[in-house]
Chain A
Amino acid sequence: MIPLNSNFESKPVGLDVEKIRKDFPILDTQVSGRQLVYLDNAATTHKPVAVIERMKKYYESENSNIHRGVHFLSQLATKEYESAREKIRGFINAGSTREVIITRGATDSINLVAQSFGRKFIGAGDEIIISEMEHHANIVPWQMLCESTGAVLRYIPINDNGELILEKFDVLLNSRTKLVSVTRCSNALGTINPVEYIIEKSHQQGTPVLIDGSQSIQHGTIDVQKLDADFFVFSGHKLYGPTGTGVLYGKEKYLREMPPYQGGGDMILNVSMEKTTYNDLPYKFEAGTPNIAGVIGLGAAIDYINSIGMDLISAHEKELTRYALTGLSSIWQVILIGEPKNRAPVFSFILEGIHPHDIGTILDFEGIAIRAGHHCAQPVMERYCIPATARASFAVYNTFEEIDKLVLGIRRVLEVFS
Chain B
Amino acid sequence: MTEPILSTRNLTRDFGPFRAVDGVDLEILDGSITGLIGPNGAGKSTLFNVLTGMLAPTAGQVFLQGRDVTGQQSDRLFAQGLGRTFQIPRPFGRMSVLENVMLAPMNQLGERLWGPILQPARMRAEEAAIRERALEVLEFVTLDGLADQAAAEISGGQRKLLELARVLMGDPSVILLDEPAAGVNPTLTRVLIDKIEELNRGGKTFVIIEHDMDFVMQHCDPVIALAQGKIVFQGTAEEAQANPVLLDAYLGAQVDD
A and B: partners?
A: no
Which positions in B face A, CB cutoff 8 Å? none
